[in-house]
Amino acid sequence: MELKTVELTKRYGSKIAVDHLNITLTGGVYGLLGANGAGKTTLMRLLCAIQTPTSGKILLGGKNILALDQRYRNGLGYLPQQFGCYPDFTAMDFMLFMAAVKGLEDRQAERRSRELLEAVGLEHEAYHKVRTYSGGMRQRLGIAQAMLNDPRLLILDEPTAGLDPKERVRFRNLISDFARDRVVVLSTHIVSDVASIAGHILLMKSGRIILDGAPGQVAAGLRGKVWECVVPTERAERYAASLSVSSVRHLENGRTVLRCVSDRAPVASASAAEPDLEDLYLYYFREERRA
């Protein structure tokens, strides 16, 4: 499948949330990275046809998704950032309700619901009421319902919020298997999740995609801008206050290693380090982090 945006634009009054966007999604997991206010959620809502663009269009196989209407929605799965569910339903009740909304037949709905609750680790809580669930359990239920109709396009907005490390590993494995012949768009602030499963990175800032490519490819563009600086521990905090620091590692000899991003060596003793996606995120969103 090919999903394509053509000069896609969304305005809210004088604010441009998505700005003449041209991207093509053809298969696999796309990691959408950006700070708050970058336009990620608006883009996802446009891709889900929840909102209509101010101008431009979204094409599936060359056809406008607004013209495809229900045919497009039938192949779509979506987990919004704020996932709502009925607290007095059991997980199975909720899954069957969502299956009915999505038009699944009864036998298929029950089989698919059981499979997905097991896949997200909720099989033993399937008949417990959702109001007894932790935040992480509700999030896993949200992931399961998004996959009910076996969608060709799966859009997940902050899906790992509230998940513990073990649950995040389960999620990454589930999505990696699911995305083999589908398109998955995954937005998260947990860069390690994207680095683990995304074959393609879309870095969004001020409504535009400013970087587009494989994780290693986009991170490599930061070579010569990532540094490790060994400084006296008693002065580390002062250095960190003036640098864009991604990690701090204390040594036993009264020295501290600061990993930071900068266009040039921040101190004379700095040595260049191999960049990763967290460095990339920090480099492009230093201003937002300071704010």
Q: What is the mean pLDDT of residues 245-267?
A: 92
On the question of pLDDT at 95 being above 50, the answer is yes
For residues 270-276, give the mean pLDDT: 94
Residue type, 237: E
Mean residue pLDDT across the chain = 92
CB-count burial class (<10 Å; 0-12, 13-18, 19+) for 208: middle
Look at residue 288 in the predicted model and tell me its pLDDT.
Answer: 56
User: How many Å apart are CA 86 and CA 92, to the nearest integer?
Assistant: 12
- Which among 124, 139, 274, 40 is positioned nearest to 261, based on CA atoms? 274
**Residue range 161-179: average pLDDT?**
87
CA distances to 49, 62, 71, 72, 75 from 68, rounded to whole Å, are: 10, 11, 5, 5, 11
User: Would you say residue 199 lies in a domain?
Assistant: no
Q: Where are the alpha helices (DSSP H) in the chain?
A: 40-47, 65-68, 70-73, 91-101, 106-119, 135-146, 165-178, 191-197, 215-220, 233-242, 277-284, 286-290
Count of domains for the chain: 1
The pLDDT assigned to 113 comes to 96
Domain presence at residue 246:
yes
Rounded to an integer, the average pLDDT of 70-74 is: 92
pLDDT, average across residues 192-203: 90
* Residue carrying structure tokens 């991170």: 219
Q: What is the pLDDT of residues 29-68, one digit of tens each?
A: 999 999 888 999 999 999 999 999 999 999 999 999 999 9
What is the per-residue pLDDT for 291? 46
pTM of the model: 0.89
Q: Is the pLDDT of residue 194 over 90?
A: no
- Choose the weakest-confidence range: 58-72, 81-95, 116-130: 81-95
Phi/psi at 127 (5° precision): -110, 20
CB atoms within 10 A of CB 286: 15
Quote the pLDDT of residue 289: 52
C-alpha separations of 149 from 107, 115, 156, 174 in Å: 13, 12, 15, 15
Report the distance separating Cα 186 and Cα 175, nearest Å.
10
Residue 105 amino acid letter: E
Whether 27 maps to a domain, the answer reads no
**Residue 282 placed within a domain:** no
Question: Where in the sequence is the domain holding 242, given as residue range(s)?
Answer: 224-273
Confidence of residue 228 (pLDDT cuts 50, 70, 90): very high
Residue 258 lies in a domain: yes
- Taking residues 247-255, what's their average pLDDT? 91
Is 253 domain-assigned?
yes
pLDDT above 80: residue 189: no
Give 91's pLDDT tier (boundaries 50, 70, 90): very high
Q: Kindly state the average pLDDT of the residues 85-106.
A: 93
Q: Could you tell me which residues come within 8 angstroms of residue 167 by beta carbon, excluding any fewer than 6 positions away?
A: 121, 136, 140, 160
Q: Do the domain assignments include residue 210?
A: no
pLDDT band at 195; cut points 50, 70, 90 = confident
24: in domain: no
Instruction: Give the pLDDT confidence score for residue 181 in this predicted structure.
Output: 80
